[in-house]
Structure 1
Amino acid sequence: MPRDRLSVVVTRRLPEAVETRLSELFDVTLRDDDTPMSRSELIAAVKSADVLVPTLTDEIDAGLLGQAGERLRLIANYGAGVDHIDVATARQRGILVSNTPGVLTDDTADMTMALILAVTRRIPEGLAMMQRGEWTGWAPTALLGGRIAGRRLGILGMGRIGQAVARRARAFGMQIHYHNRRRLRTETEEQFEATYWESLDQMIARMDILSINCPSTPSTFHLMNARRLKLMKPSAVIVNTSRGEVIDENALTRMIRAGDIAGAGLDVYEHGTDVNPRLRELPNVVLLPHMGSATLEGRIEMGEKVLLNIKTFADGHRPPDQVVPSML
């Protein structure tokens, strides 16, 4: 390998097209199997690489960064969320951090609508009945769900993905409401015919469906805690394709089991793969294995962003998707 090529370590298997392009441009170390790196493997990687390409399954904390070698100058994250990276410590050590924003907006919004429909129309219950061979024919009162047209959708977090959800929900005839750190511009509100709620509590109490689309930050941890969940109507449904930590999962489980919330559609969980077993048992809860961004097109576009960030850095410029602590 030419000595002037950047040493890049990739922590997980990526789409073949992305790995091939990385190999063409850089002195890259790829992962043989699709499993997360161990802590010792991550330590070895940060000691030897110029650039680390991690994913959300890698904990890049202060302890790990403290063992980084002099060569490590860029963490080019494969993904938009960077709550698994200690960005402040990286900055203190002169290590840049970049991410891949924007490319998964439509895919995640599509999955949000899929979960809304799955819960309100009881799709998994019908699927399970068919798979068990229990269907005996059509009946007027069987598996009655609810029509989503005319329902009030409350969007918690009206960024790129929240607005993409609003755009889709309007096409389904839903009424758009939202709570955000900052109110949107008037023309954007008019585009969605959206109602802004300064008070999250007041919005939650009036919604038929609540969609969580805010990032994971210290201020959003358990934003939907037991007190706020109790504000929801017993007929309401909650959907989360953002970050699991935003909802108190145990409180949500208790309230759905008690009939205080009508159902939930979740693609993310508070404790990663350690999902509350009582939540799994509920027929009115749809659980997916973090599939919101799982399209081939989206994953390749993520890789292209990683490539662009590394290439720009290699050329001596600021990566276009650099993340700094003030953005978090």
Structure 2
Amino acid sequence: MTGLGNELLHQALKPLSLYYERPGIEEVAINRPNEVWTKTGQGWESEQAPEITYKYILSLCRLLANITEQDFDRDRVPILAATLPGGHRFQAIIGPNVRYEIADTHGMAICIRCFKKEKKFSLADYMLRPGEELSDLPDHAVKRRKYAETPYEDLIGAVEHGEAVLISGATATGKTTFLNALVEFIPKNRRIITVEDTREVLLPHVNRVHLIISRTSSANQVSYSHILDSVVRLTPDAIICGEISVGNVKSIYRLMTTGHSNFFATIHADSPQMAIKAFWQNLTQNDINLDPKAAIEIISMAFGRIVQIDRSSGQRIITGVEVPDMVEDVLRDVLR
């Protein structure tokens, strides 16, 4: 970004930054002009914001698209994803595809996921502590452990031994934040490559490369498929894929079937079983002709651990550290 572009963006963001730079704010959402919703650990609150107009948001999106070299037009390509100064994740849909009231002809949907670099989380912030069992583990749960009897030590053992880890949870449960805490345990002499649509993974490792792929239309035509083909030739010891989505799942699945077993990813799901199902459902959106049983077995066997994150009364907690062994359960759910 040039100095001029940086200054223009700084000035353009001033009205909006008054909300996402407040202490304790996790997310900012705009559903219609003149109103802003902010989210803290206690939930969502709205307030009037006369300066946040449709014209202002449209102008900001055009500026962001220009600076990040993305194709954006409210009628033709009305979706924009970008990273704001400070690492905040910006997602927008604006134009005729969005309506608030029945009579509306256009609208906007904006969400900013706030990044707080000064706040460093540990596994203990998720109630995952050395020598302790999970606090919310059901009495009937089957404890499958490989490296230790307790989940903290078992998970760290899996990371140190190069096993793949899938982090599952609903929106805003802190999956990426947990991932940032977990990668601290990857041995520091290993070479790490991250592949993300927004730069969020923070690595303490010196031998590292961060690759960014836009989720929206851009002048750069590099796709997940192009990148992941190159990644394996960059000789990583571990690959961090970020969030699994329809856009990248095909490439990640191919990675899983070509012998690279040490990778990390996150996924939106409410349980370890649903995480495997969500992975499979993303695959099916790519019109891939796969045998369900074979594919689900590959997905399940690829991950050494599935970590489940939930949120209760504002507290993010780990409710499962599973060694996947749920092929038949997932298959019954998929085929019924």
More helix by percentage: 1
Query: If the TM-score is normalised by the length of the shorter chain, which range does it land in?
Result: 0.3 to 0.5
- TM-score, normalised to structure 2, is 0.34
Q: Determine which structure has the larger strand proportion and give its number.
A: 2
Q: TM-score scaled to structure 1, two decimals?
A: 0.35
